[in-house]
Amino acid sequence: MADAPIVTCPNCGTRNRIRSQPTGVPRCSVCHHALPWVVDADADSFDTEIVASVPVFVDFWASWCAPCRMVSPAVERIAADRAGELKVVKLDVDGASEIAARYGAQSIPLLVLLRDGREVDRMVGAAPEAVLRRWLDERLAPAGAAGSGPGSG
């Protein structure tokens, strides 16, 4: 399993180590601002990392995949903008073929949104950041919220 990532607080600049945690969200040790929650998982840590009290956005990718490298910065910006609301788990499929097969990751990048461990939806391919944000906004909107549901948008 990879070392716990270190994230700089966007509010005060303090560097914080983020450990895997099934409840709550990571917060700055100094100002208590919600931190962007992006973790690299591997075959051993994946099942632990997708357990969270917030929705989990899984990025199935590979280092040799140019579209994956195009999507990754957008996914990380979204994680920063949704600090405290979303966890991003990045999984290199080359080192986790069984997990990729479990999720039917036949094409990458594959972005899968999980809530309470269950798949909500998925997006295959390198979508522009605006499309990705809209897709996530629709799926993360509270039930019954304006603009959500069939026929909206």
Q: What string of H, E and C letters represents the secondary structure of the chain?
A: CCCCCEEECCCCCCEEECCCCCCCCCECCCCCCECCEEEEECCCCHHHHCCCCCCEEEEEECCCCHHHHHHHHHHHHHHHHCCCCCEEEEEEHHHCHHHHHHCCCCCCCEEEEEECCEEEEEEECCCCHHHHHHHHHHHHCCCCCCCCCCCCC
Residue 65 annotated as catalytic: yes
pTM of the model: 0.87
Confidence (pLDDT) at 5: 82
Confidence (pLDDT) at 126: 94
Confidence (pLDDT) at 29: 94
Architecture of domain 36-140: 3-Layer(aba) Sandwich (3.40)
Instruction: For the chain, list residues with pLDDT below 70.
Output: 1-2, 143-153
Residue 12 annotated as catalytic: no
Catalytic entry in 9, 28, 31, 65: 65
Catalytic entry in 9, 12, 31, 68: 68
Domain borders along the chain are 36-140
